[in-house]
Amino acid sequence: MHVLKQMIRQPTALFGVIVVTLVIGLAIAAPWIAPFSPDEQMFDGLSLEGAPLPPGGPYLLGTDTLGRDLFSRLLFGARTSLIIGLVANSIAVAIGLLVGIVAGYLRGLPGNILMRFTDLMMAFPALLLAIVLAALLKPSLWIVAMVIALVNWVQVARIVYTETRGLVERDFIMAERSLGAGHMRVLFMHILPHLMPTAIVWGTLGIATTVLLEATLSFLGVGVQPPQPSWGNIIFESQSYFQAAPWLVFIPGAIILLTALSFNLVGDALRDILDPTQRGRG
């Protein structure tokens, strides 16, 4: 409740919370509020010349190149993009926490090996690595989520490693060890709780990056495959109609931008609230 009250007092954070809540709510309620099936090709969904219909009339946001209702596809595309964003980012944060805690706590040779592997993964461009992995595997919703998780954990691991190294040297950890506490007790009872604010902040900020990366992969044709809608492949399918039907590109693009911005605003607010070193900074 304290965190929620602090976020409500910040206009930008409140805006982010409202947008994120709205997007998640629409995605969950998509089967009930979508006026049409996302894959249904309407008999009157194209003009006499075979072009997509503009926004208005029975089709709130117009139709796509196959005569399908764009509003319905965006609603179901939100489900796909958010599922990938939440699943992929949760896995990435979990992997980053595990690698960072183990490397920072053990130090020595095991810690150096883990961190050098992390540095090696950071050296690869994330988008290029994701494209290669997605091309090698058969693209699907869960494969795309796994691929994104495998390229997004390194930043979390680096941050967690640095914080763990500092926590290990703290007096209360050394006192706990001197009393005979085992490694598992120190890790789970004392170190991990101090890292949870970092995990929460990165978990929120990472969703924006994950949604953008999913949209990029789908736009490039190696992400979620049609006919399953996602915001990225909606733009991919409509790119050839950019001039004739610009709403097919601008509307999903604006939604992706707004969603990513909102998650970033929420993540920034959580960082300011949960991280004591950020308090009082303008």
Q: Is residue 22 predicted with pLDDT exceeding 90?
A: yes
For residue range 191-205, list pLDDT tens digits in order. 888 888 888 888 887
pTM of this structure: 0.80
At residue 282 the predicted structure's pLDDT band, cuts being 50, 70 and 90, is very low
Q: What span, in angstroms and rounded, lies between the C-alpha atoms of 66 and 52?
A: 7
C-alpha pair distances (Å), 164 with each of 55, 150, 241? 53, 22, 51
Q: Is residue 278 predicted with pLDDT exceeding 60?
A: no
* Percent of the chain predicted with pLDDT > 70: 95
Alpha helices in the chain (DSSP H): 2-8, 11-28, 30-33, 70-106, 108-123, 126-136, 141-168, 171-178, 183-186, 192-219, 231-238, 247-274
pLDDT, residue 275, reads 62
What three-state secondary structure class fits 189?
helix
Give the mean model confidence (pLDDT) for residues 155-161.
Answer: 88
Q: Would you call 15 exposed, middle or buried from its count of C-beta atoms within 10 A (0-12, 13-18, 19+)?
A: middle
Q: Is residue 98 predicted with pLDDT exceeding 50?
A: yes
For residue range 255-274, list pLDDT tens digits in order. 988 988 888 888 888 777 77
Residue pair 223/232 in contact (Cβ under 8 Å)? The answer is yes
